[in-house]
Structure formats: C-alpha cells, structure tokens
Amino acid sequence: MWIRFLPGYGVLLAVALGGAAYAQFDDKKSGVNIDEESLTPWQELETAPPEYPRSENLVEFYVSAATSNKFLIDAKSLSVGTDSVVRYVVAIKTPGGVTNVSFEGLHCDTYERRIYALGRNDKTWSQARTKAWTTIPPANPNGYQAALFKEYFCPNGRPILSAEEGLDALKRGGHPSVK
C-alpha cells in the first residue's frame, strides 16, 4: 500500500510520531527510568589549587622519546571530581634545571584541558588568566596533556574512576585498558 502525503501533513505526522516516542519513554506512563543527569547540562565544580607539590610525592610518567624533559604528577593532587574532570598538578623539569608547575584538569568527555593555576618560584599559586576549556593539542614531543589523556587518565575516552586507578596507570607506564 502506498501512502501519499499531502502538503502540510508531513509536519503533523512528525509531531504525532515525536509525541508517541516521548510517551513511550515518559517514566510515569511506561515505568522506564529516565536518567535526569543526562538531561541536564554539564556543570564544572569550583576548584581551588591543592597544596604545592613536594618532590617526594612526584611520580614520573612517559610522554615521548623525542623530549629530554621529565614529566611528573603530584600523587597527592590527583583527583576525579563528580563532574568527571581528572585534576592533577604536573611538574615539568627541563635539562637546564628549570621546573614549571601547573594545576590542571582533563575533561575526558570532550577531549579538553584547562589550566587552573600556575606555580610560582615561592611555591605559591597564581590563578590562570583564562577559565576556558581548550582542545588538547595534538601529540608532540612535549605533549604531556595528550599523553595523560590517551595513556593514563582517560583510557578509551572515559575518565578513570579514582585517583588510585590513575596512580596505578602512572606506575605501570600506561592504563591497562588502553589498546
């Protein structure tokens, strides 16, 4: 049987079908539980910088054979928020003896990063000038954020479940579920 649509009836049909689909998933009528968290927009937690890192708490991780810098995570600072952001303090030591420290976050769902604060020479924090999330730069010899995302803290694009899981991945040289 052929159905012929008259002008203007296409919209009416779409509305009717859309309403039927909504009614099917309305938890009061169908008994289906709708996860309201998935319906609300993502909300980032307010975050203050942690205690400045101590050298005994730093765990080195691998980024690339093409760099002579050393990359370290402060084990005490690693956390996973209820907003699914993995937060950490990273220290980058250059061969010349300079160490750069920053407090950062990875948003695993969107492949983005944010720098919350930068370390000063007097071991205090300076708030970052921008609060924007930015796309993680492509992997390069010093691309530690891409390495942290892919190999340690966001295996297969999903955030780790706990700081312990992330520390285990750092100590192993990568997350066991990364293919």
Degrees (nearest 5) of the Cα angle 47, 114, 179? Answer: 110
Burial 59-90 (b: 16+ CB within 10 A, else e): eebebeeebebebbbbbbbbebeebbbbbbbb
The pLDDT value given to residue 178: 84
Q: Are 91 and 164 in contact (CB under 8 A)?
A: no
Residue 69 has phi, psi (to 5 degrees) of -75, 155
The pLDDT value given to residue 16: 43
Q: Which amino acid is at 153?
A: F
Q: Per-residue confidence of the chain (179 residues) as pLDDT tens digits?
A: 444 444 554 444 344 444 444 434 444 444 555 555 556 788 898 899 999 999 999 999 999 999 999 999 999 999 999 999 999 999 999 999 999 999 999 999 999 999 999 999 999 999 999 999 999 988 787 899 999 999 999 999 999 999 999 999 999 999 999 86
The pLDDT value given to residue 51: 96
Q: Are 64 and 142 in contact (CB under 8 A)?
A: yes
Degrees (nearest 5) of the Cα angle 98, 154, 104? Answer: 35
Q: Are 41 and 121 in contact (CB under 8 A)?
A: no
pTM: 0.76
